Amino acid sequence: MNPVDWWLPNYTCQACGKEIQYSDNQYLCSQCMNNLPIMQEATTTHYAPFRYAEPVRSMILSLKYNDNGLVAKALAPYLAAIYLHCIKQADKTFIIVPVPLAKSRFRERGFNQSLLLAREVAEYLTLPVRDDLLVRTRKTVIQKHMDAATRAQNMQGAFTVPLEKVANVRGQNVLLIDDVYTTGATTGACKDALRAAGAADVQILTVAAVTDF
Ligand SMILES: [Zn+2]
């Protein structure tokens, strides 16, 4: 046995579950690191470091359903890098707002995966997280099989800035964080609510985006 085995802690890959040894990255094994589905295409509507493909897909599911904070820690540097390279501007400061869950869903799960992500990203960037500025006004039905137009209609008015928080949003630049960008219906409805409350700028940053290629 290599003597390093005695004192180096063993980590588990947050994508495939394999044990990692002697790794520089305590969250991902080298195989998963090398297979990350890096997004190559730039879009004008949103930012995402990854395509929604393995092994990132598994990580997002683990984050969403298992409250796996280690996944958020593993993904946060990629989101932070996108912010630093593509979104940050010298004359603008941003606040981070996670896409909120419906209250009933939050009660079911006990956590919000977007908030977990937002907190980790905020730690890298030393930006404030505000999860009190945007609320979901109603629970929306599962959108999996809806087309883009129906999804957008379904999400319309699903979010709002509470009246007593409007002053905290007015004039602010917001970095809106979510796990997956599919058609943009959810983040679009959030952006509308923030802009309606007077946000100066709203930039959408998700871990992964569904693409047709
Ligand atoms: Zn792995």
Write out pLDDT tens, residues 102-149.
778 888 888 899 999 999 999 999 999 999 999 998 777 766 778 888
Q: Which of 6-15, 150-159, 200-209 has the lowest mean pLDDT?
A: 6-15
Query: Ligand 1 center to residue 28 CA distance, Å?
Result: 5
Query: Ligand 1 center to residue 5 CA distance, Å?
Result: 19
The per-residue DSSP string of 192-210 comes to: HHHHHTT-SEEEEEEEEE-
pTM comes to 0.90
Give the SS3 label for residue 211.
Answer: coil
Q: How far apart are CA 114 and CA 11, in angstroms?
A: 24
Give φ, ψ of 102 to 5 degrees.
-65, 150
Query: Ligand 1 center to residue 125 CA distance, Å?
Result: 26
Q: Ion ligand 1 — residues with CB under 5 Å?
A: 13, 15-16, 18, 29, 32
Any idea where the domains of the chain sit in the sequence? 1-35, 36-209
Please confirm whether the linkage preceding 3 is cis (ω < 30° from 0): no
Query: Ligand 1 center to residue 11 CA distance, Å?
Result: 11
pLDDT of residue 181: 95
Query: Ligand 1 center to residue 1 CA distance, Å?
Result: 22
pLDDT of residue 67: 83
Write out pLDDT tens, residues 14-73.
999 998 876 667 899 999 999 999 998 888 899 999 999 999 999 999 998 888 889 999
pLDDT tier at 210, thresholds 50, 70, 90: very high
- Best CA proximity match to 166, nearest among 133, 210, 209: 133
pLDDT of residue 139: 74
Query: Ligand 1 center to residue 127 CA distance, Å?
Result: 30
Query: Ligand 1 center to residue 53 CA distance, Å?
Result: 14
Q: Please tell me the CATH code under which domain 36-209 is placed.
A: 3.40.50.2020
Query: Ligand 1 center to residue 17 CA distance, Å?
Result: 6
Query: Ligand 1 center to residue 23 CA distance, Å?
Result: 11
